[in-house]
Structure 1
Amino acid sequence: MSDLEARLRDTLTERAGAAPDALRLATGARRRLRRRRTTWAVAAAAVVAAGVPLGLDQLGPSSDGGGRIADEPTATSGLPPGVIETGYRAESWHDVTFEVPVDWGYGGTSGWCTVGATPDEALPLVTRPDTLTPAIACSPINGYGVTIGDGAALDPAYDSGHVWQFETEGASDPIYPDGAWLGYWYDADTVVTVVAPDRATARRLVDSVETNDGVDPNDCPATLGEAEAATTTESYATFSICRYGPDDLLEASRRLIGRESSVAEDAIFSSPRRTADYDCPTENDLSRIALLSSGGYVATAVTEASCPGWNGLFRSGVVQDLTPEALRQLDLSQLPVPPEE
């Protein structure tokens, strides 16, 4: 066993052992961490458009004032906290959560023309600040989907929650599809921009955005420390995959239930025990994936380090080398593959 692996396991043990302090100080820690801005240059084309602001000079006649309007309930109205309507899934970034249709994919909305002849033919996508997007020139520049950006870079023309229609008016290089419905939600740290083919979808997705004081709908806390301190709370079998960035803030999450849960757990935890020894240099910008079973922390995975000694599954003092199937299950940039019957 190398010194590197021992240090990583000791770090994880320390975090787990500090559970009471982590839970008690979670609110203050989150406030401090939220001041540490993350960069999003790889998704700049989509997010900069949001800060222009979005299509302000092409505002259509069907704009609404935004916010949760009491006399115009959305599809989320009346649902208990944490309950996702059938046909939608929860997506998260730091302490912000929103919902999208279950069949929407992941990727850069500015690369829509690589997968469709028109924006209507291309799959709407969820674009995170760290999403890699092909350097191509689609026209319109962006297709349909949801883009997450830095709230500090936004100069808003409207209140958070506003929804309006975009019209190109003959522009040679429009930002969005003609007639698309736009909306955004923002706070000091994060802006969530929605581009949808119809008003109802844009309104529903914008209204679904909220911040989490505890865990998101996938049972993932906003910080890695809170995740590694989590204890079992669910009374039924679930499996949560929570990805955290180098700043220990939540970047993506997924929760699997029933057969999907057991298939994913079997694929990940059956990975072989590590036998090789590595001598890796210090790497300070590691992303980590916390794994929670029924809401309780069970292991941490690292999948994208430059030195293979940092990668692996770390649990209960054991290091396992992740198999290709385990890596596929841990990849939150792809839609999950349903288990075979």
Structure 2
Amino acid sequence: MSDLETRLRDTLTERAGAAPDAIGLAAGARRRLRRRRTTWAVVTAAVVAAAVPLGLTQLAPSPDRTDRVADTPTATSGLPDSVIETGYRAESWHDVTFEVPVDWGYGSPMAWCAGDANTPQPVLQRPGTLSPTIACTPTSGYGVTFGSLIAASFNPSHSSGAVWEYDGAGGDAATYPEGAWLGVWFDDDVIVTVATPDRAATRRIVDSIETFTGADPNRCPATLGEAEAARGSEPFDTFSICRYGPDEQLEASRKLIGVEGRAAQDTIFSSPRRTGDYDCPTEDDLSRTALLSGGGYVATAVTGASCPGWNGLFMSGVVRDLTPEAQRHLDLSQRPVEE
């Protein structure tokens, strides 16, 4: 490990444990954007420690090939959200969106050798995904990782949008499969790393990364407040599932169209009305999922709270207890449910 990589690791570890006040201030500013709130909870936002995405310490060239030249961003960088090619799906986090092949699953690239896998299958790793210590060789497979960037600690060897071929010759252990093509995109807040076996595939994903205003390609706004204030602007055969973290920023999104959208809505909104009462203590780390039909807000769902009173579907003053089938539709860590 180079001196640069060692300093990056140590600094990020220290900063992640410190939970800087600036993040809390930014979250407070975003909350003031909210024009309406659900009546069932008023939660104090928790300060979230920065996550280090896999691949951040691999941005420097390999020590034996310091003259390696990376591809720079192409003229097509920042594809508009109207250009979603067949075979790709849109993924988002905070105000950053990008496209990955539709057949990619979710998980950790570091777990590629689990089970009977003989070759790495690309996956999307969202912040907070557990990376098991399986000790695969190479350490990581293919996929996309992303998360918060601490700008003061970041000194990249490649520019944002660059793509280059991995060369692990001379290292103690391979980090990526030999011949993998790596890419990176970053701004002041977010970093995205890409690894695929093909230069064109990595280039395609990196070129699709962009920040958005308003809503992402799945019609999910960047903050919960904006989602709850959204008004319909699309045909009502579109159904958007938008998950927000405790800091009320977008964590994941999905849009279902036509029959898929109607099936998901029927399953979710047919959950039975709640009849019992709960006396729950305040929970400051709740994630919420906003549901939008035709681009307009209709309800908020909560799952995973320790007290069941916080869980449910909250819509127009009515609370419904989500069925297991409804919760499967709301689980954005899995592929869409097939009816």
C-alpha displacement at 1:236, in angstroms? 4.5
The one-letter code matched in structure 2 to 1:147 is T
Contact 1:52-1:155 at 8 Å conserved across structures: no
Distance in 1 (CA, whole Å) between partners of 2:209 and 2:115 is 28
User: Are 2:62 and 2:168, in contact at CA under 8 Å, matched by a contact in 1?
Assistant: no
Q: Name the CA distance, whole Å, in 1 between partners of 2:279 and 2:84.
A: 45
| Structure 2: distance between partners of 1:299 and 1:321 | 13
Quick check: 1:292–1:298 contact (8 Å CA) kept in 2?
yes
Q: CA deviation at 1:56?
A: 3.8
Instruction: Specify which of 55, 63, 67 is matched with residue 57 of structure 1.
Output: 63
Offset of residue 136 of structure 1: 1.8
What's the counterpart of residue 131 of structure 1? 129
Q: CA deviation at 1:65?
A: 3.0
- Tell me by how many angstroms 1:133 deviates: 2.1
Q: Quick one: distance in 2 between partners of 1:297 and 1:269?
A: 14
Q: What is the match of residue 107 of structure 2?
A: 107
| Number of equivalences | 298
Shift of 1:284: 0.7
Alpha carbons 1:60, 1:167 under 8 Å: kept: no
Shift in Å at residue 222 of structure 1? 0.1
Q: Determine if contact 1:63/1:163 at 8 Å carries over to the other structure.
A: no
Q: Which residue of 1 aligns with 2:181?
A: 181
Structure 1 vs Structure 2 CA RMSD: 2.4
Matches within 5 A, 1:35-184: 38-40=49-51, 44=52, 47=54, 49-57=55-63, 63-69=69-75, 81-118=81-118, 121-152=119-150, 153-169=153-169, 171-184=171-184
Q: Percent identity?
A: 58
| Separation of aligned partners in 2, 1:212 and 1:88 | 18
Partner of 2:333: 333
* CA deviation map 1:54-89 (0-9, x unaligned): 5543659874432123xxx68x86xx5433110000
User: 1:275-309 CA distances to partner (integer Å, 9 max, x unpaired)?
Assistant: 12111111011000000000000000000111111
Alpha-carbon separation, structure 1, partners of 2:278 and 2:249: 28
| Paired letter, 1:103 | D
- In structure 1, the residue matched to 2:196 is 196
Which amino acid letter does the alignment assign opposite residue 101 of structure 1?
P
Q: 142-151 or 224-233: which moved more?
A: 142-151
> Partner letter of residue 288 of structure 1?
R
| CA displacement at 1:151 relative to structure 2 | 1.8
Equivalent-residue separation in structure 1 for 2:315 and 2:107 (angstroms): 31
Mark the runs of 5 or more structure 1 residues left unpaired by the alignment: 1-14, 20-32
Distance 1:59 1:147 in 2: 24
Residues 37 and 189, structure 1, Cα contact 8 Å, conserved in 2: no
Q: TM-score, length-normalised on structure 2?
A: 0.82
Q: 2:311 matched to 1:311?
A: yes
Shift of 1:123: 2.3
Residues 157/323 of structure 1: CA separation in 2 closer, same or farther (3 Å cut): same
Question: What is the CA–CA distance in structure 1 between the aligned matches of 2:156 and 2:48, rounded to whole Å?
Answer: 18
Contact 1:280 1:309 in 2 (8 A): yes
Secondary structure in 2 aligned to 1:225? helix
Classify 1:203/1:115 alpha carbon distance in 2 versus 1 (closer, same or farther; 3 Å). Answer: farther
Distance 1:243 1:141 in 2: 30
